[in-house]
Chains A and B, each alone.
Chain A
Amino acid sequence: MLPGVMLSLVISLAAPPQAAPPPPEAAAAMRDRVLEQAAAELQAGRRAEAKKLLASAAERFTSVRAMLQLARLQSGEGDAAGALATLDRARTLAPDTEEVLSAIAQVALAARRPVQALLALEPLTRLAPRIARHHYLFGVALMQAGDMPAATEALQAADRLEPGHNLTSIALGIALNSRKMFGDAKPLLLHVLEREPDNVEALAALAEAEEGLGELDAADSHAARALAATPSHPTANLVVGMVLMKRDRYQEARDALERAAAADTESPKVYYQLSLACARLGDSAGASRNRELYQQKLRAMEARIEELRRVGLPSRGEMPR
């Protein structure tokens, strides 16, 4: 789902690791030469050659830096599994390295593997508790995993460390919306839009909060603005669908909800609302089909939470019931 450009950005954030054992001088010089060569190949557009060189450096010199660079290339090509395998090896060599953990987290997040991301982010937030970004990413990963109460806590921690950051505020707004705390989400999102009036994510999240609060006209208006910029935006389409449902315009609601489902195939809410729209249109087959999909998505979400527990991550949700 995430473009290679972003993954490059993710990995480029990683500085040379400090925890890896220093190689002997000669070996270090050789390693540096190979890395330079790899960089040159990459510069020349020969990615395959660059990858070979990096793999070789990673193997011969057990170079964590080579592994990080190789992972960047792999994830840039959409090979998240390969990138994560490479990074796991780097983590074995440098287990408590902020850069390695951060890279794992970001690649895993981009690949929508929240549990893997959380397994890196959880120690990262302990290693560097005052870095807002780690808490932010922890919150985003928890959101992906479906643990919204824990996500809220992590995002609030990020907000305390770096108050008023737009992205944190938006993510927090989305998490609060998920917890139906629309009244708390709305002012956060309005504040973001004061600073960045055309932020599509903030517009869509604000529309969702307003829809939840029953402010249907405002929700419709903000969702329309988000859709003008991003016609396939899942949240904005969902909001439009919800507003139309409440206005008893079921045919149009179904169309909007189908657009939302196409953009976000994992949302139980979208399929549940689709099943209601179909039922109200007398389309019992559609209602049944969407209800089945809704239940599949719900069970998948439960499985993700269950996985959080299984791997021992501190799910702080309401899951016992």
Chain B
Amino acid sequence: MKSLRPIHGLLLAASLGSLAGAAGSSSVSPFRDVTREAGVTFEHHAAPEKKYIVESMSGGVALFDFDRDGRLDLYLVDSLTVDTAGDPKAARSALYRNLGGFKFEDVTDKAGVGHPGWGMGVCVADVDGDGWDDLYVTALGGNKLYTNGRNGTFSDVTAAAGVGAAGWSTGCGFADYDRDGDLDLFVARYVRMDLTKLPQFGKDKTCEYRGIPVQCGPRGLPGESDFLFRNDGNGRFTEVGDKAGVADRGASFGLGIAWFDANDDGWPDLYVANDSMGNFLYLNRKDGTFEEAGFPRGVAVSEDGSEQGSMGIALGDYNRTGRFSLFVTNFAEEYNALYRHDGAHFTDVSFRSKTAASSLPFVGWGTTFFDYDNDGWLDLIAVNGHVYPQLDKARLGASAGYRQRALFYRNKGDGTFDEVGRTLGGPFAVERVSRGSAVGDLDNDGRLDVVINDLDGSPQVLRNEVPDAGNWLIVKLRGAGANTNAIGAVVTARAGDVRHVRLVQSGTSYISQDDMRLHVGLGASTSADVVEVRWPDGTTTKREQVKANQIIEIAQPTTPSR
């Protein structure tokens, strides 16, 4: 939606009289697509024509170490289509075990996580506090909670836990919002979808794009409320969305979510990206309820007040102020929004930071801040792909086509970025229809790799081979209580005058899960003077003189149980 601009009388008046009479360098890409050689043969299913919106939105990906061997494993979510909806086995999500050396083994069948239904997204947490990561998969028609059996298998405990969540779920994420020591779960939902009454493809003007018939929605279709499941501590959850004030009874089109402490009061707040509607920032009132403050804090809409088609969320201290700014991917002809965290409020610095203009032609999805070259500054990736295959038959105007390349922003260290995706070449120059993406160090070499789940076909496993990367540190946290990953903990690594701040998150990017270990690029510094952890309960732990180029684990000192 574009703003109506003042059209001056003067302009028009004058017109009536007067008119009446008359790229870059060829550097080697730091990332290489190793999907095939890694043995990742997963294919995401989607109907060729995407006649229905429900066939356009899937594709989460998770990086997590399910077998605790120290290597990140990979889970890719698949979806059904309207034609295959009656056959749940027509879609097969896949779990790949990381064998090391960028080799993966499909262990889906043994794990029992291949058929969550019409899959959408995924988030990871150790839900039962046993020290082994569990999987939560969102879907159309009911979500799945798979708990880790510690032997390569998972159990579907959805019904027992009470987190099935009917309808069409999308983004999810765990956090201890009530600080009672265990992990709660937020689930965003998108459109109310009845497969027996699907909106007819191209049926009217609301189902047209540039004059061609396309899938309907989300505008014109009913939205859905969201869920907050409070962990009861006994394996069961209670849905408290209404009571907490995060149920979204206005039924927005919820997609990506991010838990983080937006106002530095030590309590988890929640940001929800809504497609074509204002985004929510729920501030935690510390009493089990939240106050929605997206507008006054400046993170609801674009700078001109447009309700953008928001999809994915990246959270990062890109300007090294110690605060987490928000980057939100949006629809084509809109810009990806960078909301800089200025303390009391956020400021839309999208154009000033030079991340906006390059994003205008693209429909953005997965996104993550990460320091790909370990120079100490967080860079940024945003993967793209349109929702209408029919677009390639239409006039494109300013927009790219159905398949779109990814955007890769190199942080210049002065509050601005260079978009270098095209000039980097390699996988970033290839046009795909991407959705979820996740970042993590798949080979533990200190250089962060990227996995992207595409809507049509094969995913992309992108190995980071950047030469001359700086020094680095990866911090794995071990929480003392039920929150064993210390989700919500903040790590500050100081090296000289430089302070790097990172957050442990469950539910990132677009309906995906980044590596929960925290990576810090240290540049030329060979050590961090101090690594300080602020645990979710507010206590802190410090390590001094931590040498670079290693993965360290920091365990939370045991505290009295709640």
- A267-B3, A294-B305 are contacts. A136–B19 as well, Cβ < 8 Å? yes
Residues of B within 8 A of A27 (CB): none
- A213-B351, A214-B351, A268-B304 are contacts. A201–B11 as well, Cβ < 8 Å? yes
Decide yes or no whether A83 CB sits under 8 A from chain B. Answer: no
The answer to whether B276 and A321 have CB atoms under 8 Å apart is yes
Encode contact with A along B203-231: 1 for CB under 8 Å, 0 otherwise.
00111111100101111100000000000
Decide yes or no whether B6 CB sits under 8 A from chain A. Answer: yes
The answer to whether B10 and A178 have CB atoms under 8 Å apart is no
Decide yes or no whether B23 CB sits under 8 A from chain A. Answer: no
Q: Which of A177, A183, A309 contacts B5 (CB 8 A)?
A: A177
Most B CB contacts (10 A, CB to CB) among A167, A213, A291 go to: A167
The answer to whether B5 and A275 have CB atoms under 8 Å apart is no
Interface hits, B1-47 → A, CB 8 Å: 1-20, 22
Chain A's nearest CB lies how many Å from the CB of B11? 5
Decide yes or no whether A82 CB sits under 8 A from chain B. Answer: no
Residues of B within 8 A of A182 (CB): 351, 357
The answer to whether A267 and B5 have CB atoms under 8 Å apart is yes
The answer to whether B19 and A320 have CB atoms under 8 Å apart is no
Q: Which of A109, A214, A291, A319 contacts B219 (CB 8 A)?
A: A319
Most A CB contacts (10 A, CB to CB) among B3, B208, B217, B331 go to: B3
Encode contact with B along A138-172: 1 for CB under 8 Å, 0 otherwise.
00100111111100110000100010011110110
Minimal Cβ-Cβ distance residue in A for B388:
A320
Minimal Cβ-Cβ distance residue in A for B214:
A320
Decide yes or no whether A266 CB sits under 8 A from chain B. Answer: yes
Decide yes or no whether A106 CB sits under 8 A from chain B. Answer: yes
Decide yes or no whether B235 CB sits under 8 A from chain A. Answer: no
Minimal Cβ-Cβ distance residue in B for A177:
B5
Task: Give bound CA distance, A58 to B551, whole Å.
Answer: 89
Residues of A within 8 A of B3 (CB): 146, 178, 267-269, 301
The answer to whether B298 and A146 have CB atoms under 8 Å apart is no
Decide yes or no whether A88 CB sits under 8 A from chain B. Answer: no
Decide yes or no whether B286 CB sits under 8 A from chain A. Answer: no
The answer to whether B22 and A246 have CB atoms under 8 Å apart is no
Decide yes or no whether A55 CB sits under 8 A from chain B. Answer: no
Decide yes or no whether A315 CB sits under 8 A from chain B. Answer: yes
The answer to whether A9 and B6 have CB atoms under 8 Å apart is no
Q: Which of B20, B334, B347 contacts A13 (CB 8 A)?
A: B20
The answer to whether B17 and A9 have CB atoms under 8 Å apart is yes
Minimal Cβ-Cβ distance residue in A for B352:
A214
Q: Interface size on A (CB < 8 Å)?
A: 83
Decide yes or no whether B397 CB sits under 8 A from chain A. Answer: yes
Chain A's nearest CB lies how many Å from the CB of B308? 9
The answer to whether B398 and A179 have CB atoms under 8 Å apart is yes
The answer to whether A180 and B356 have CB atoms under 8 Å apart is yes
Q: Interface size on B (CB < 8 Å)?
A: 65
Chain A's nearest CB lies how many Å from the CB of B389? 14
Residues of B within 8 A of A171 (CB): 7, 11, 15
- A171-B11, A201-B10, A268-B305 are contacts. A301–B4 as well, Cβ < 8 Å? yes
- A269-B305, A291-B295 are contacts. A318–B332 as well, Cβ < 8 Å? yes
Q: Which of A153, A271, A291, A319 contacts B397 (CB 8 A)?
A: A153
Task: Give bound CA distance, A175 to B351, whole Å.
Answer: 17
Decide yes or no whether B307 CB sits under 8 A from chain A. Answer: yes
Task: Give bound CA distance, A170 to B1, whole Å.
Answer: 22
Chain B's nearest CB lies how many Å from the CB of A172? 11
Residues of B within 8 A of A3 (CB): 9, 13
The answer to whether B305 and A298 have CB atoms under 8 Å apart is yes
Q: Which of A267, A279, A294, A304 contacts B296 (CB 8 A)?
A: A279
Most A CB contacts (10 A, CB to CB) among B7, B217, B218 go to: B7
Minimal Cβ-Cβ distance residue in B for A310:
B205
Residues of A within 8 A of B219 (CB): 319-321
The answer to whether A162 and B304 have CB atoms under 8 Å apart is no
Decide yes or no whether A137 CB sits under 8 A from chain B. Answer: yes
Task: Give bound CA distance, A178 to B8, whole Å.
Answer: 15
The answer to whether B8 and A201 have CB atoms under 8 Å apart is yes
Task: Give bound CA distance, A179 to B351, whole Å.
Answer: 13
Q: Which of B10, B276, B357 contacts A180 (CB 8 A)?
A: B357
| 11 sample A-B contacts, Cβ–Cβ < 8 Å, listed by A number | A132-B22, A171-B15, A177-B5, A178-B2, A267-B4, A272-B301, A279-B296, A309-B206, A318-B331, A320-B206, A321-B218
| Given A152-B398, A171-B11, A321-B219, 11 extra CB contacts under 8 A | A2-B13, A144-B7, A158-B19, A167-B14, A171-B7, A264-B6, A272-B305, A301-B4, A304-B4, A318-B332, A321-B309
